């Protein structure tokens, strides 16, 4: 969103954008919502009945920060052409071939590749997950590995399919769908 402004100060600025299947993102949020039913999501207003169903919650997340805002800004970057200057780190590619993805990232930022231990990842920084309310969970797994998609189970296939249909540009850009 702010790339043109950034480029005025840092010509040729390097921007790294991490992307993940939208179905996985909102399924993760839905799982955290269910797991933390005792916590209040400020967007859940019972008198408005706006968080009663999975579909309503997904609709909210897809049309508000952080997911909806990030997705709209990303779409704008494609529409303006700024996206062709970015490095997109696709989560699903990273967990399958982390060394290849990291080597490509290092080429993009013009630095020598660093050898990583993808089977011994240490969490050295702690997030204050309390500020994220229901959705605070920044625990890093010690091994980089792919996980089986569960969005159809969590969201239902109808909602999962609708996410792809409504965001076809995203799935075409990153997943060739």
How far is it, in rounded angstroms, from Cα 123 to Cα 58? Answer: 30
Low-confidence winner among 24-28, 105-109, 131-135, 171-175 (lowest mean pLDDT): 131-135
Q: Which of 151, 129, 133, 137 is nearest to 65 (CA)?
A: 133
Joined together, the tokens standing for residue 79 give 């529409």
Give the CA dihedral 30, 33, 34, 39, nearest 10 degrees.
180
| Residue 41 confidence (pLDDT) | 86
| Residue 63 confidence (pLDDT) | 96
Residue 168 belongs to what domain range?
3-175
- Does residue 138 surpass a pLDDT of 80? no
How far is it, in rounded angstroms, from Cα 57 to Cα 159? Answer: 11
Low-confidence winner among 28-37, 84-93, 94-103 (lowest mean pLDDT): 28-37
The pTM score is 0.92
| Residue 129 confidence (pLDDT) | 66
| Residue 130 confidence (pLDDT) | 65
Cβ-based neighbours of 131, under 8 Å, separated by 6 or more? none
For a pLDDT cut of 70, what percent of the chain falls above it?
97
- Does residue 50 surpass a pLDDT of 70? yes
| Residue 106 confidence (pLDDT) | 98
pLDDT in tens, 156-165: 999 999 999 9
Number of domains in the chain: 1
| Residue 127 confidence (pLDDT) | 77
| Residue 40 confidence (pLDDT) | 82
- Does residue 131 surpass a pLDDT of 80? no
Q: Are 143 and 149 in contact (CB under 8 A)?
A: no
Question: Which CATH number fits the domain that encloses residue 22?
Answer: 3.40.50
Q: Which of 103, 79, 80, 78 is nearest to 19 (CA)?
A: 78
- The stretch 4-9 carries a mean pLDDT of 94
């Amino acid at each position: 969103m702010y790339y043109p402004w950034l480029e005025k100060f840092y010509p040729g600025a390097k921007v790294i954008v991490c992307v993940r299947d939208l179905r996985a993102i909102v399924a993760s949020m839905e799982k955290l919502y269910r797991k933390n039913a005792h916590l209040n999501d400020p967007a859940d207003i019972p008198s408005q009945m706006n968080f009663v169903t999975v579909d309503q919650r997904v609709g909210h997340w897809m049309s508000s920060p952080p997911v909806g805002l990030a997705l709209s800004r990303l779409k704008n970057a494609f529409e303006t052409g700024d996206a062709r200057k970015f490095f997109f780190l696709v989560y699903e590619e990273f967990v399958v071939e982390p060394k290849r993805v990291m080597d490509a990232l290092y080429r993009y930022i013009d630095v020598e590749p660093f050898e990583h231990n993808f089977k011994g990842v240490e969490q050295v920084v702690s997030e204050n997950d309390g500020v994220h309310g229901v959705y605070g969970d920044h625990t890093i797994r010690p091994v980089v590995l792919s996980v089986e998609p569960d969005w159809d189970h969590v969201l239902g296939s109808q909602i999962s399919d609708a996410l792809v249909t409504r965001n076809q540009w995203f799935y075409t850009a990153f997943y060739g769908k």
